[in-house]
Amino acid sequence: MATLESATPTIRNIAIIAHVDHGKTTLLDNMLKQSGTFRENQEIQERVMDSGDQERERGITILAKCTSVLWNQEKINIIDTPGHADFGGEVERVLCMADGVLLLVDAAEGPMPQTKFVLSKALQAQLNPIVIINKVDRADSRIDEVLDDIYELFLNLDATNEQLDFPVLYASGRNGWCVNQLSDERKDLTPLFLTIINYVKSGNYDYNTSFAMLVTLLESDKFLGRVLIGKIYQGITKVNSDLKVLNLDGTTIERGRLTKLLSFSGLKRIPVEQAVAGDIVAIAGLEKASVSDTITISVNDSPFAGQEGTRITSTIIRDRLYAEAETNVAITVAVISSSEAFEVGGRGELQLGVLIENMRREGFELSVSRPRVLFKEENGKKLEPIEEVVIDIDDEYSGIIMEKLSFRKGDMVDMRPSGNGRTRLIFLVPSRGLIGYQGEFLTDSRGTGIINRLFHSYAPYKGPISGRRNGVLIATDKGEAVAYALFNLQDRGIMFVKPQDKVYSGMVVGQHSRDNDLEVNVLKGKQLTNVRASGSDEAIKLTPPKVMTLEEMIAYINDDELVEVTPKSIRLRKKFLDPNARKRAARGG
């Protein structure tokens, strides 16, 4: 058993939780800057904690991350959590490391669905929140109403009296200031640091017992191998200590030696010789310790397979998916009928889209099926997941939104004005009815609407929901699309390809204007003659093709279609490329 050799600063572990885009990561940027983590002349990019390529491109936090600051010799470990519901699994796991939480709420939007989710998890973990009403300098802020909504949310989530007695701060995370009262001088984040030190209780830990640590996050490091991140709950550990790993049943599954012990300091992990109870650390040296939509991923078998990717075999795809499931407990992987295909379960289209995009960038080629929602049986009844959908919309678009969601078996439970000519609509909608709705919603609201979803409950199956109403245009031959052919097909629907794009037989090249599929020849050029007709030399004017993101494509396809994903291209295709095979499948043969 190790002994405590020197005094360590008091440690407080705090998680920052909020709905997506309410300003967590930006506030954390300024906490790091004002605590002296960076040199005065050091250039720091915005949202420094969002270090992944997709996090910076999408503007969201995907993976929970740890950092720490020193404030007046007090160590504060800070856990930045995702705000999107698809990554709720990350939030649930990391809250067990926290002694308290900072709950950020936008001063204009107020509590949103993910606010409710993350706060409920924090309250269930018996954590006492500090509430920060952020972005109070917004022109459309409604601070008093938002504070009332926060109290109402706490009451609805059965918060204890102690949890209800939360301190309230007002902040502008982007401008780096926080105040106790709106009339106070708006200078810096000192009031926030002082509130954390005074309000969040440092745990009472036993340093004189055997070492115990709960692993919460698992990462892979090219130098250290598997890196386990978690909180030490009791005792002290040192480098080269002998360790054993226990599962939930108390059975020893591994014995090993602690080869590397890392403590968080700002954005860095620094090697240390010992760590004590209450701290969050990363360790290396162990090999076995570890921590609702479903899609199918299969080997890419298109005519262009292997032309762009380097990782194309089922074995390599399987190993990559299993590695993802090991580090992300919200992902499940199962081999289905053929060893060439895998069923991947996750919390939503965004989470699965991030995984597929990461694999694409790593050189993988694969085909992806349409997402399907998992049902369950209870007392002989088929139940399906229902989501609470909160929509903020300009008043003029509320009618079309209500009409569209009713087609998707949605029930409206609330409708109220939210100020400035906008309306807040709350629906309960089957999860399967929301697949592919995001793009349609943005079109119907002219890009001005905000939609948020959160799992609500399971309910009896609501019957069939009509899917995509339009058929598709299917290429008949392999080659490069020709401008003349695309021009002549424009009245048949919306094109997905442009001139000189490579196509193949069975590839989806556009959306038909009618409800049936149509096979088209996009390679057919203009017949040349020795007689010039009037206007024959005029330039062809093409409507730009419709370009969809990976998530939009996954949501767009029907059950008989796939998304082909390669490092350089994302294409839509039919499952059966041969037209005769498609006809037999349609007949059930």
CATH architecture of the region 376-460: 2-Layer Sandwich (3.30)
**Residue 501 has what pLDDT?**
94
Rounded Cα distance, 200 and 194, in Å = 10
**Residue 129 has what pLDDT?**
95
**Residue 49 has what pLDDT?**
47
DSSP state letter for 61: -
What residue spans in the chain does CATH classification 2.40.50.250 cover?
Answer: 472-586
Rounded Cα distance, 267 and 270, in Å = 10
- Give residue-wise pLDDT tens across range 105-146: 999 989 887 788 788 888 988 999 999 999 999 988 999 999
What residue spans in the chain does CATH classification 2.40.30.10 cover?
Answer: 212-284
**Residue 144 has what pLDDT?**
94
**Residue 8 has what pLDDT?**
53
Asked if residue 200 lies in contact with residue 103, where contact means CB atoms within 8 angstroms, the answer is no
What residue spans in the chain does CATH classification 3.40.50.300 cover?
Answer: 11-199
* Positions of the chain with pLDDT lower than 50, given as ranges: 5-7, 39, 41-42, 44-45, 47-51, 55-56, 59-62, 291-293, 534-537
pTM above 0.85, yes or no: no
Q: At what angle do helices 314-327 and 349-361 cross, to 10 degrees?
A: 130
CATH topology of domain 212-284: Elongation Factor Tu (Ef-tu); domain 3 (2.40.30)
Q: Which amino acid is at 565?
A: V
CATH topology of domain 11-199: Rossmann fold (3.40.50)
Rounded Cα distance, 519 and 515, in Å = 13
**Residue 289 has what pLDDT?**
62
**Residue 120 has what pLDDT?**
86
Rounded Cα distance, 25 and 52, in Å = 13
**Residue 6 has what pLDDT?**
46
User: What is the assigned CATH class of domain 472-586?
Assistant: mainly beta
